Structure 1
Amino acid sequence: MDRYGAPTLGGHYEGLRHGGVIVLTEPPSGAAAELFYRSLHSGCAVAIPFGENPGFDFLKSKLTEFGTVSPSAEGPHELWWGGIGWSKLSASADGATIRPRIVSYYPFGSDPDDIRSLRRSLDELELDSHIEPVAAELGEQVLCFEKAEFLARMWQRYSEPLLFVEAGATLCEAPLLPSALGCDVALHKWNRWEMSARTLYLGRTARAGQLLRSWHHLAASYPSIWDGYLLDQAWGLTSSEGPLDTVWLPRSYHAMKGDLAAARATILHSEQTTTTSLGPDPGFAGLVRAARRAGRTGARDAFMVMTSEAANENGVAVILRDIEANDARAVAATVEAVTGAFAADCGGYKRFELSLCALKDDLGAAQAAAQQARYRILEIAPGQSIPRDFFAAHAYHTADHAVMTACHLFP
């Protein structure tokens, strides 16, 4: 708001908007979304406080995604914000007082020429940095586990925010945008939805540290899986457990030699635009390569995870279905009611996971995940009355309840 001005509620699409923050609480239809998009100016920002609702996905796809703030028990919604370009925010980044430390590595014994252009650009921009060789198990190929382990060491060694860039990159200007926005984490989504680990910013926050630990743990457990997918999974897990403030970096922070963004690059990577390693491994199973949907956790991930002080390992999965066919405010009110009920009385459950399902396939995936975890499954609908003793009324009857049941609790 300091950059864009006082917010106003959206809903009227006539005429050009010259600036300000527009808050949308209901998803527009296709035609209304087009009219709204055409009314925007580069000085406008669009904020969607119920960003977890897939009804907003079409409008989001037309806008540049600036970032998200994930939910918590206190604010159980995902705030999404964006606009039609990064120019307003990029111009304000010059006022950033905190400069990140640039960190990178190269495989021990490899040709140091790959790192010289990075060192030269860091010296010219007078940026603090740390670059070191790492002993990679596969010679010149650094595994995701080795990358996450390197970043974990840098996190422990330095007190300032970290910006990791791959060896061979060149910094064309100081990368100040993430620190100017004061976010927890900043990264670029390759092909719009697939997360890239070639440029990664970590702010000095507890949530950034949690994301790094989750990524490190996943990489240690699955060392052969490519780093972008595991970073995506760590982001989804961390986002579901607390308010992770994420900035989706513009292409200028992930530019490739030969593409149109190279002329205006902040960070220029040495690979060509067509390099297949920039995206997902083409041999990776398509079943687990679902696109990250419009900057939000989808139904195949828990939208929100809460834990209690209960002295057992019982879990409950609440599935909120038919969310795309219902009013956004009704969906939001039901999310608030069910999370508030768990905070008030957990019913003896240690862990609560909330999934939002719009499609039948999403519903099946959420049910299968809950059954695999041996959770009690409760299905609810938007607008349904959720009493404060909701979880106590549907608690396990015995501590060793063996069969997970799906209770359909529609009004």
Structure 2
Amino acid sequence: MTDETHANLDRLLQSGGIRLGRAQRDRLIWLVGQYGVPTLDSVPDGRHSGVVILKEPPSGAAAELFYRALTPSCAVVIPRSENPGFDFLKSKLTEFGTVGPCGADGPHEMWWGGIGWSKFLTAADTSTIRPRIVSCHPRGSDESASLALRQSLERLRLDSHVEAIETQFDDRILCFEKAEFMVRMWNKYREPLLFIEADAMLRELPLLPSFVACDIALHKWNRWEMSARTLYLGRTNHAERLLRTWQQLAASYPAIWEGYLLDQAWSLTSSQGPLDTVWLPRSYHALKGDLGANRAIILHDRQTTTLELGPDPGFAGLVRSARRAGRTGASDAFMVMTSKAEAGGGIAVILRDISGTDAGAVAATVEAVTGAYAADCGGYGRLELSLCAWQEDVGAAREAAGLARYRILEIAPGQKIANDFFAAHAADDAVMTARHLFP
């Protein structure tokens, strides 16, 4: 992009009151380079390419008209996509990726999508960066289980590392064993890593994640259930943070299914930094019997009769709707900020009623809260901001904050948040403590 194009993009964002963090702006610039000129809240006329940036969620009828007007030459960017008002439109589009909030400088989640992956899959063939394929299988299992994978790696001339590892069971690998293997591979190699299950095979070069240059890439089964059968890790600090968080969770909860632990690692990591995630298309996670299996890039040795990849279909029910929309759920912190000063304790701010309020008002309140904490943390070492659409969501968020022994504040969209918001509440807490100690 030229300096003039950068300046035009900055003016466009400023006119819409849109604040983006560095990683989010970099992703938007990349999209403009792929699709063309960005516009704000405009409806494509079906003849032009470009990036459409949406500030407000369209109503049901408007979302349908907007969707019908899009072509594969258009990309849609939602810079305040944490708002569930955008969920309906997202459900109609192909979800390409998300970039997590960037603190007070970019206090929103950015979602990007469009109509199908064809443009990117074609362009990815030009990528010069190839990931190292890594995989593992139990040492006690049949060596032929990984034969198809090894043969496909040799045919495509891809650097790889396929290893038999010691496991508790001869017929499967537990989550903590897989995570430990991935950490070893991360420490051993310098290339981006693409983990593929040992019973899978590659039909074509898997270049999409490295072409997009994201932190992580994975597939969501049924659009909500994260799968660890195909997992890409770019050589970035955020990717390493997610990997090590996943390893820690797996070590702490060895009996819990790997997909759910990966989901929680993603939620924690994206709330604490601008994790750039790509949600891989089904061609990177095809199963035997899929209609498009003959065009798959990665084909897993599983039948399409498998309804769920996890052992308990109802286990992650609380996060299904949020994950389908590429965002965190009510019981998960949307954003986590820490203060630079030596401070103790944490504070949880719960923003309620976000589904029935103007998206701009919700966004402004998020910005006010994060800005106030950055200006004066009030002695709280950690801020966790949760967004709740319904009263039951508020209850879940309160319960999670209570378990962490955080000070809990509940606010509404549009509520005035002064720069001394946190300092004032800290002073109130000090007064209440003094009264309790010296009645």
TM-score band by shorter chain is over 0.9
SS of the aligned residue for 1:313 comes to: coil
Deviation at 1:298, TM superposition (A): 1.6
2:194 matches 1:175: no
Check conservation: 1:191, 1:279, Cα contact below 8 A: no
Deviation at 1:400, TM superposition (A): 11
TM-score (norm 1): 0.94
Code of the residue aligned with 1:355 in structure 2: it is S
1:35 to 55, 62, 65: 65
Code of the residue aligned with 2:262 in structure 1: it is L
Deviation at 1:290, TM superposition (A): 4.2
2:404 to 366, 373, 397: 373
Deviation at 1:311, TM superposition (A): 3.1
Q: Which is worse superposed, 279-288 or 4-13? A: 279-288
1:195 to 214, 219, 226: 226
Tell me the distance in 1 between the aligned counterparts of 2:221 and 2:65.
28
Aligned to 1:406: none
Alpha carbons of structure 1 residues 189 and 286: separation in structure 2 relative to 1, 3 Å:
closer
SS of the aligned residue for 1:395 comes to: helix
Aligned to 1:69: 99
Within a 5 Å distance, the mapping from 1:357-396 to structure 2 comes to 357-395=388-426
Tell me the distance in 2 between the aligned counterparts of 1:167 and 1:302.
34
| Aligned alpha-carbon RMSD (Å) | 1.8
Aligned to 2:237: 206
Tell me the distance in 1 between the aligned counterparts of 2:432 and 2:140.
56
Tell me the distance in 1 between the aligned counterparts of 2:229 and 2:316.
22
Deviation at 1:43, TM superposition (A): 1.0
Check conservation: 2:330, 2:386, Cα contact below 8 A: yes
Aligned to 2:309: 279
Deviation at 1:18, TM superposition (A): 3.4
Aligned to 1:260: 291
Gaps of 5+ in 1: 403-411
2:337 to 306, 324, 327: 306
Code of the residue aligned with 2:68 in structure 1: it is R
Give the number of aligned pairs. Answer: 401
Code of the residue aligned with 2:235 in structure 1: it is R
2:366 to 322, 335, 342: 335
Check conservation: 1:319, 1:356, Cα contact below 8 A: yes
Within a 5 Å distance, the mapping from 1:8-407 to structure 2 comes to 8-12=39-43, 15-73=45-103, 74-275=105-306, 279-282=309-312, 285=315, 290-291=320-321, 292-395=323-426, 397-398=429-430
Deviation at 1:6, TM superposition (A): 1.1
SS of the aligned residue for 1:334 comes to: helix
Deviation at 1:330, TM superposition (A): 1.3
SS of the aligned residue for 1:65 comes to: strand
Code of the residue aligned with 1:119 in structure 2: it is R
Code of the residue aligned with 1:274 in structure 2: it is T
SS of the aligned residue for 1:394 comes to: helix
Tell me the distance in 2 between the aligned counterparts of 1:82 and 1:345.
36
Which has a greater percent of helix? 2
Tell me the distance in 1 between the aligned counterparts of 2:304 and 2:433.
54
SS of the aligned residue for 1:217 comes to: helix
Deviation at 1:243, TM superposition (A): 0.2
Deviation at 1:275, TM superposition (A): 3.0
Alpha carbons of structure 1 residues 399 and 89: separation in structure 2 relative to 1, 3 Å:
farther
Tell me the distance in 2 between the aligned counterparts of 1:185 and 1:303.
19
Tell me the distance in 2 between the aligned counterparts of 1:261 and 1:94.
19
Tell me the distance in 1 between the aligned counterparts of 2:75 and 2:272.
27
Alpha carbons of structure 1 residues 399 and 107: separation in structure 2 relative to 1, 3 Å:
farther
Tell me the distance in 2 between the aligned counterparts of 1:107 and 1:35.
51
Measured against aligned partners, the alpha-carbon deviations of 1:278-314 in whole angstroms (never above 9, x if no partner) come to 5221276466664524100121100000111343431
Check conservation: 1:96, 1:176, Cα contact below 8 A: yes
Gaps of 5+ in 2: 1-31, 435-439
Deviation at 1:11, TM superposition (A): 4.1
